[in-house]
């Protein structure tokens, strides 16, 4: 997987116009229930953000693309949970870990709307919290408000991490 992401970052380096669409797709996959387990894309997202920071690319299209991709992934996870409720527990990987849904429910019930913000920043929770919020019918507009707001904050943090990485790499090469 690391080789694929390395190739992807090299592609973005050579074809910078593709940065925003690729970031949108990676953020979508990173935030989508079940798929996020197969496509852990945060490393590639930070690497692409570092490329943006080191180049003359505008940060805004990449930030907006990342936020929209993440919000759409969470929205689809919420919808999937809302639509399939009890059947979700029978699907892999939740079928292998039957205690995850009750724990997720307790987390969402305890924290409410802030659980969407908290979940956005922790890998294992990122795609499961929206799924659980849908299963247990968190009010739709409350979920969407937290979803889109946290997606923009999350994308901004990734961009800042990538920018910091590019500055650190530039500094390290300068004083090598």
Residue 85: domain span: 2-174
CB-based contacts of 53, cutoff 8 Å, min separation 6:
59, 159, 162, 163, 164, 165, 166, 167
Q: Is the distance from CB of 65 to CB of 17 less than 8 angstroms?
A: no
Q: Map tokens 């307790």 to a residue.
A: 106
Give the model's confidence band at 97: pLDDT under 50 very low, under 70 low, under 90 confident, else very high.
Answer: confident
Alpha-carbon dihedral 58, 63, 64, 66, rounded to 10 degrees: 130
Q: How much is the average pLDDT of 60-73?
A: 95
Span 9-23, pLDDT tens digits? 677 677 778 889 999
Tokens standing for residue 104: 């997720």
Mean pLDDT taken over the chain? 85
pLDDT tens for 107-142 read 889 999 999 999 898 876 777 899 999 999 999 999
**37 has pLDDT over 90:** no
Q: Domain total for the chain?
A: 1
């Amino acid at each position: 997987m690391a080789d694929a992401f390395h190739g992807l970052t090299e592609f973005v380096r050579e074809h910078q116009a593709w940065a925003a669409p690729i970031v949108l797709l990676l953020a979508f996959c990173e935030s989508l229930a079940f798929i996020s387990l197969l496509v852990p894309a945060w490393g590639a997202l930070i690497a692409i953000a570092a490329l943006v920071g080191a180049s003359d690319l505008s940060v805004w299209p990449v930030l907006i693309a990342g936020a929209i991709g993440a919000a759409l992934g969470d929205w689809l996870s919420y919808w999937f949970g809302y639509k399939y409720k009890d059947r979700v527990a029978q699907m892999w990987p939740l079928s292998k870990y039957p205690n995850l849904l009750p724990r997720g429910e307790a987390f969402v019930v305890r924290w409410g709307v802030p659980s969407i913000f908290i979940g956005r920043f922790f890998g294992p929770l990122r795609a499961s919290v929206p799924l659980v919020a849908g299963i247990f019918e968190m009010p739709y507009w409350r979920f969407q408000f937290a979803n889109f707001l946290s997606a923009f904050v999350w994308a901004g943090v990734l961009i800042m991490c990538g920018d910091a990485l590019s500055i650190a790499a530039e500094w390290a090469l300068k004083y090598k």
